[in-house]
Amino acid sequence: MTLKEQLMEDMKNAMRSHDGAKLDVVRMIRSEIKNHEIDHGEADDETVQKIIKGMLKQQKDALGDFIKAARQDLIDETNSKIAVFTAYLPTELSDEELEKIVTEAVSSASSKDFGPLMGQIMKKVGNRADGARVTALLKKAL
């Protein structure tokens, strides 16, 4: 079952169970996917994960603002959205696993240029690690 099919099934289940919070998030995700498909054509699972990851990042940024403003109602709502987004993403690599990948890439590379190494590492980790984490570990290794 593709991720888009899973989202459709989850939307139907959320409607049946009257889970308004999950239904809103799933509809939001499906809307973003549809907008992407209008501009770029059919979206595969990897593209859908990138879209969800971008939406998750927006929610985490908003969460920081809500915490600063001490708005507990918005903090709770955003945390529930983040939980739904996270359910559709693959599990993140642990720091040890990511550090191992970075170390291997640096040791096997002929040149120690940041850009090409970063590209090589991001191809390996895909959607399982945030670019900021990879950048920090790569800078530390170089």
Write down which residue in 62, 87, 112 finishes a domain: 87
Task: Select from 87, 109, 133 the last residue of a domain.
Answer: 87
Residues 55 and 80 in one domain: yes
How many domains does one find in the chain? 2
Lowest mean pLDDT of 5-19, 44-58, 71-85, 125-139, name the range.
125-139
pTM of the entire predicted model: 0.77
Using pLDDT thresholds of 50, 70 and 90, give the confidence band for residue 60: very high
| Domain closes at, from 71, 87, 103 | 87
Local confidence band at 99 (pLDDT 50, 70, 90 cut-offs): confident
- Same-domain check for residues 114 and 130: yes
Q: Are 43 and 27 in contact (CB under 8 A)?
A: no
Which residue segment(s) compose the domain that 130 sits in? 95-141
Which has the higher per-residue pLDDT, 7 or 131? 7
Q: Are residues 99 and 38 in the same domain?
A: no
- What sign does the CA torsion over 42, 46, 47, 52 have? positive
Q: What CATH number does the domain containing 47 carry? A: 1.10.1510.10
CA 64 to mean position of chain CA atoms: 17
CA angle 70, 72, 78 (to 5 degrees): 110
Residues 23 and 76 in one domain: yes
Hunting for tokens 């590379």 — which residue is that? 109
Q: Are 83 and 103 part of one and the same domain?
A: no
DSSP-based helix, strand, coil % in the chain, nearest 5? 80, 0, 20
- State residue 84's pLDDT score: 93
Q: Over the chain, what is the mean pLDDT?
A: 89
Are 79 and 9 in a shared domain?
Answer: yes
Question: Same structural domain for residues 8 and 64?
Answer: yes
pLDDT in tens, 24-40: 999 999 999 999 999 99
Domain shared by 117 and 79, yes or no: no
Residues 79, 21 share a domain: yes
Instruction: Please state, in angstroms and rounded to a whole number, the distance separating the CA atoms of residues 84 and 96.
Output: 26
* Domain harbouring 99, CATH code: 1.10.10
Share of the chain above pLDDT 70, in %: 100
Model confidence at 100: pLDDT above 90: no
Residue 128: DSSP 8-state:
G
